[in-house]
């Protein structure tokens, strides 16, 4: 390659990088504005940002187009802000972290939020039926960002799984006593063997036949028999 050709190639690469920087700067500003003004109420705009990130990801996934330089630049910018990345961050991770990182806010205060968005975008990319044009519908169908984040977490346990496991433990536990109220007796006919939760105030008192009141031991029993246990629900 001649010196002139090499210079032209470098100039083209520089222009491509500058164009990329300008484009993602606009996206970053959009995300920053959303965070400052609409974070609590506007999912619609949030999902549109996800769609923009998805489109940019598709562009950077194309072989060539000086994407190596773009990747190096965005990774260096993220690291310069003090954000710790894994050894081989994906393109979608870089785009998401850079876009949603808010300057002037401690990273520890936004890390969880950004991490959730990375999981959403990563899950979307891995799903062959999700594209930039339908990512908003997909997020809504999946129950929102937090629900997708939980599903994407390896150790995540669904609400149904927690309920099933809790009921199993309850039914195999040793019975230490029984309690009935007017309502529990009324429900007994059609709620038998179902798990229920009783909420109330439990009070213990101990008396002897002469009306003397004796202090309780730590386990709740009278220091002197006979005693009675009083319960309020």
For residue 52, pLDDT over 90 is answered with yes
Residue 168 within a domain: no
Residue 161 within a domain: no
Same structural domain, 113 and 185? no
Residue 222 within a domain: yes
Q: What gap in Å lies between CA 112 and CA 110, rounded to an integer?
A: 6
Residue 69 within a domain: yes
- The residue written with tokens 């260096």 in the block is 76
Which pLDDT score, from 0 to 100, does residue 79 have?
A: 94
Q: What gap in Å lies between CA 233 and CA 218, rounded to an integer?
A: 21
Same structural domain, 194 and 94? no
Same structural domain, 184 and 126? no
> How does DSSP assign 121-174, residue by residue?
HHHHHH-TT--TTTHHHHHHHTT-HHHHHHHHSTT---HHHHHHHHHHHHHHSP
Q: What is the mean pLDDT of residues 27-45?
A: 83
CA-closest candidate to residue 98, choices 41, 25, 163, 175: 25
Residue 25 within a domain: yes
Which pLDDT score, from 0 to 100, does residue 151 have?
A: 86
Residue 167 within a domain: no
Helix (H, G, I), strand (E, B) or coil at 207: strand
Same structural domain, 15 and 94? yes
Same structural domain, 135 and 202? no
Letter string b/e over residues 138-168, b meaning 16 or more CB atoms within 10 A of that residue's CB: bbeebeebeebbbeeeeeeeeeeeeeeeeee
- Last residue within a domain, chosen from 156, 185, 212: 156
- C-alpha 27: how far from its chain's center? 23
Q: What gap in Å lies between CA 10 and CA 13, rounded to an integer?
A: 5
Same structural domain, 143 and 188? no
Same structural domain, 32 and 147? yes
For residue 98, pLDDT over 80 is answered with yes
Residue 162 within a domain: no
Same structural domain, 88 and 181? no
For the chain, the average pLDDT equals 79
Same structural domain, 55 and 103? yes
The CB-side HSE value for 91 (13 A sphere, CA atoms) comes to 17
Copy the structure tokens of residue 201: 């105030």
For residue 231, pLDDT over 50 is answered with no
The CB-side HSE value for 44 (13 A sphere, CA atoms) comes to 0
Which pLDDT score, from 0 to 100, does residue 118 have?
A: 95
Domain limits for position 135: 3-156
- Domains: count for the chain: 2
For residue 6, name the pLDDT band (cuts at 50, 70, 90).
confident
Please name the residues in contact with 127: beta carbons below 8 A apart, sequence gap of 6 or more.
138
Same structural domain, 147 and 190? no
Q: Are 213 and 205 in contact (CB under 8 A)?
A: yes
The 8-class DSSP code of residue 226 comes to S
Which pLDDT score, from 0 to 100, does residue 233 have?
A: 39
Residue 87 within a domain: yes
Same structural domain, 151 and 184? no
- Last residue within a domain, chosen from 104, 126, 156: 156
- Last residue within a domain, chosen from 128, 156, 184: 156
Which pLDDT score, from 0 to 100, does residue 216 have?
A: 47
Q: What gap in Å lies between CA 22 and CA 224, rounded to an integer?
A: 82
Same structural domain, 118 and 223? no
């Amino acid at each position: 390659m001649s010196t002139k050709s090499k210079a032209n190639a470098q100039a083209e690469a520089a222009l491509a990088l500058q164009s990329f920087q300008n484009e993602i700067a606009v996206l970053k500003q959009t995300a920053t504005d959303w965070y400052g003004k609409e974070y609590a109420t506007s999912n619609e705009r949030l999902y549109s940002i996800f769609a923009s990130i998805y489109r940019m990801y598709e562009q950077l996934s194309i072989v060539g187009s000086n994407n190596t330089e773009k990747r190096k630049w965005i990774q260096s910018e993220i690291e310069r802000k003090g954000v710790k990345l894994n050894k081989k961050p994906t393109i979608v991770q870089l785009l998401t972290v850079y876009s949603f990182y808010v300057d002037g806010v401690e990273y520890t205060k936004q890390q969880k939020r950004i991490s959730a968005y990375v999981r959403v975008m990563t899950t979307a990319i891995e799903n062959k039926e999700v594209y930039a044009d339908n990512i908003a519908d997909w997020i809504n169908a999946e129950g929102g960002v937090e629900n997708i984040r939980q599903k994407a977490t390896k150790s995540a346990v669904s609400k149904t799984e927690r309920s099933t496991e809790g009921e199993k433990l309850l039914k195999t536990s040793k019975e230490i006593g029984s309690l009935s109220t007017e309502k529990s007796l009324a429900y007994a006919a059609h709620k038998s063997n179902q798990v229920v939760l009783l909420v109330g105030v439990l009070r213990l008192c101990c008396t002897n036949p002469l009306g003397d009141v004796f202090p309780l031991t730590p386990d709740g029993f009278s220091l002197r028999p006979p005693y009675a246990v009083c319960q309020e629900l």
